[in-house]
Amino acid sequence: MKLVLLHPDGSTEGADPRDLPREVLAQVHAPAPLLRVIREKCADCCAGQLAEVRRCTAVRCALWPYRMGRNPFSTRRGNPAPLRKNPRLRPGFFEQGSEALSAPAGGSRPQNVTP
């Protein structure tokens, strides 16, 4: 099974990965979590320099919000920002002070959270 198709007019087209057997796809790409794949693509775009991934200013790139290997829209793992509009949260939850929200549980790296 071919991964790149050659058309009679000389143009090429990549095969649809959904139509490929897993064994063929796994020979070219190892299965990996999607956020890791996105971060690896960002590193590829930045010539392998992870510091440049952090500094990336291509804010219109569809991958930019995910470049740090995290989903900023997730409501899991200490990212309370998407929860602010949740009417089921008790009143005053985010007014408890930034100290309570600045570090994830069990971690010391500060988060940029504005209550």
- What is the pLDDT confidence band of residue 79, given thresholds at 50, 70 and 90? low
Q: How far apart are CA 112 and CA 115, in angstroms?
A: 10
Output the pLDDT for position 75: 74
For 34-57, write each residue's pLDDT tens digit: 999 999 999 999 999 999 999 999
Amino acid 13: pLDDT: 96
User: For the residues of 17-46, what is the DSSP string, one character each?
Assistant: GGGS-HHHHHHHS----HHHHHHHHHHHHT
> What is the CA 94 to chain-centroid distance, rounded?
25
Its sign, for the CA torsion 12, 16, 19, 24, is positive
| pLDDT at position 89 over 80 | no
pLDDT for 108 equals: 42
Q: Dihedral sign, CA of 48, 54, 56, 62?
A: positive
